[in-house]
Structure 1
Amino acid sequence: MKKFLILIFISQFCLIFSQKNVKMYNERKGDSITFYVDNQEIYPVSLVFNGQPETENLKKPELFMTTQVIPAKTSKKRVTYFLVNDKKKGWAIKKMPGYLMYIGDITIKNYDSTYQYDLPFAKGKAFLMYQGYNGTFSHQNENSLDFVMPEGTEILASREGLVIEVVQSNNKSCPTRSCAPFGNYVSILHPDGTIAQYYHLQQNGAKVKIDDAVSKGQPIALSGNTGWSNGPHLHFVTFLPSATGDKNRITIKTLFRTGDGKKVEFLEEKKSYSRAY
């Protein structure tokens, strides 16, 4: 009876903390208990336990890893297991640590920092960089860029990748943080594990959907003025997934091809940039 109650407790714990398309569960076979994760999302997720398990008369045949990456579209990924040490004695999992799931691979340290991004608008267009890296309005300690542009401007993908998020139902904006949840955006996962977000998009302005593979230069949305915004513009940011930092991400600077495409540079605040390629 003691063992049965322990297993019921563990199952409830996993159900409480599981996400919609990411599920942790356990299976008992003989004198072993194995924990698995199913990840039905189209992107990898990072599983982070907030401590070590406390057990009685159980041994772990391998190191308990507090951080593990679960690949996209994965079923029954083993994350840990326990074996009874002495079969003649009682055993228990006294405490299984809580855990959190993060979008993407938070273990990435090396990414393609030399990649040359295209400007996110069409050939023949030019726009002012109103706010740059570490800007004073809303970019404090963040490597983000704000292009001033009229609502309805066609936005192109600056880099190829997989669409993992699309939000386009909002129609509210204001110049204070209180409106931050009302921004529309498209998120694209790049081949090196970085993620780009195109933000403040027009309501119902997305031209792509989740799970679309997009090519560089492909139209993905229409610019707008939704969320935390003091005027129509496109907010562009590239980041590494992280378990720390603001919004669980580490924003990074990106190189862009400007002018005729031969010049490659980091964009600067208060400068205008044109695209002739």
Structure 2
Amino acid sequence: MNLTIYGPIALLFLLLFSQPLTAKKYYKHVDENGITHYSDKPPADTEEFESWQVRPEDSEYKVKVINRGTKESPIFYAVNRYHGPVELMMEVTQRKNIVIEPEWPKSYVIPANSELLLATVKPKQKYMSWSFQYNVGSTLGDPYTVHDSNHTYKLPFVGNKHYFISQAFDGDFSHFGDQNQYALDIAMPEGSDILAARAGVVMDIAEDFYDGGVDAKKIQRGNYIRILHNDGSMAIYAHLQLESVVVARGQRIEKQQKIAQSGNTGYTSGPHLHFAVQVNTGLKLKSVPFLLQHKSGAIKTPEIGPI
């Protein structure tokens, strides 16, 4: 995010705000050929359809930088509305006649649901024009986190079910890149109960997407739950079914507690659960290897095959 701030002579001052989305309604119907259609408008040729009101996700940045001072003497604060810490980087890209205290670039760790003073800005020469441009970067999690590599994760589904790990660590279909290198894809029917593999706090939720596919446009359109663990690592449960989440942001949950139902939303070639454990390694999310306890009680690194 790149912002430019001007002094009073330029008569312009920009603040970080975003406009709220309005609620939407979606419609589903099956045509005479048995093909299911989804739309944000009711079908014109039939009255037999399903509809539901979508609760739009909060459209404001969950981490934002705001000025609590004046145009002449800005005082910048970070506001974190996530139920977990966020790392923030402030960096000046252009400047004219200004003093920033403390000087940027500088990184900050903003605790969950809190505000933090970032810096004050003032002109070096009081009666001369001033301006500056800055970038804001942020990443979920505390960059000082050390994942407990000896922790054993439980199966993220009901133990008497039989599913299949279709992609394991370093999967060649989509498990490339730091965030997904050590992820699992567990094939299962839509609507299967998803359980927490480890206790923690619900940091974030998305549950308003209703379809999936291998179109790149769908990469950011999958439903998920992000859970923050006691050691600062975070589990991501993705491709969940529309509006199936049964926990709330900020809720403390226990291991093996039901949290949602599996689905087929986002970038996906078929119904499955995508599960990964991630840490912030310094303005960068990275997945980490983990141990999984199987039905037999054996504790091992997960591999492709029945589970």
Give the shorter-chain TM-score range. 0.7 to 0.9
Residue 259 of structure 1 aligns with an amino acid whose one-letter code is K
Which residue of the other structure, out of 4, 28, 31, is the alignment partner of 2:8?
4
2:89 corresponds to 1:72: no
Question: What is the percentage of aligned positions where both structures have the same residue?
Answer: 28
Aligned to 2:64, which of 19, 22, 31? 22
After the TM superposition, which of the residue ranges 172-181 and 211-220 deviates more from structure 2? 172-181
| Kept after mapping to 1: 8 A contact 2:92/2:104 | no
Compared CA separation, residues 93 and 118, structure 1 to 2 (3 A): farther
Q: Deviations over 1:69-119 (max 9, x none)?
A: 1112223x2112356768xx64664324221333333x2352222221111
Question: Partner letter of residue 146 of structure 1?
Answer: D
1:239 Cα shift?
Answer: 1.1
Q: Which has the higher helix share?
A: 1
Matched with 2:225 is 186
Is residue 21–residue 39 contact of structure 1 (8 Å, CA) maintained in 2? yes
Structure 1 ranges of 4+ moved more than 4 A? 13-16, 58-63, 82-86
Gaps of 5+ in 1: none
Correspondence 1:1-277 to 2 at 5 A: 4-5=8-9, 9=12, 11-15=13-17, 19=61, 22-27=64-69, 34-51=75-92, 54=95, 56=97, 62-75=102-115, 77-82=116-121, 90=127, 93-105=130-142, 107-141=143-177, 142-241=181-280, 248-261=284-297, 263-269=298-304, 271-273=305-307
Q: Whole-Å Cα distance in 2 between the matches of residues 94 and 84 of structure 1?
A: 9
* Amino acid paired to 2:168: G
Unaligned runs of 5+ in 2: 1-5, 19-59
What is the DSSP-based 3-state SS (H/G/I as helix, E as strand, rest coil) of the residue aligned with 1:12? coil
The alignment covers a number of residue pairs equal to 259
In 1, the alpha carbon distance for the partners of 2:199 and 2:299 equals 18
TM-score normalised over the length of structure 1: 0.79
User: What TM-score do the two structures reach when normalised by structure 2?
Assistant: 0.72
User: 1: CA distance between counterparts of 2:213 and 2:87?
Assistant: 34
- For the aligned residue pairs, the C-alpha RMSD in angstroms reads 3.1
Amino acid across the alignment from 2:69:
E
CA distance in 2, matches of 1:91, 1:68: 31
After the TM superposition, which of the residue ranges 212-221 and 47-56 deviates more from structure 2?
Answer: 47-56
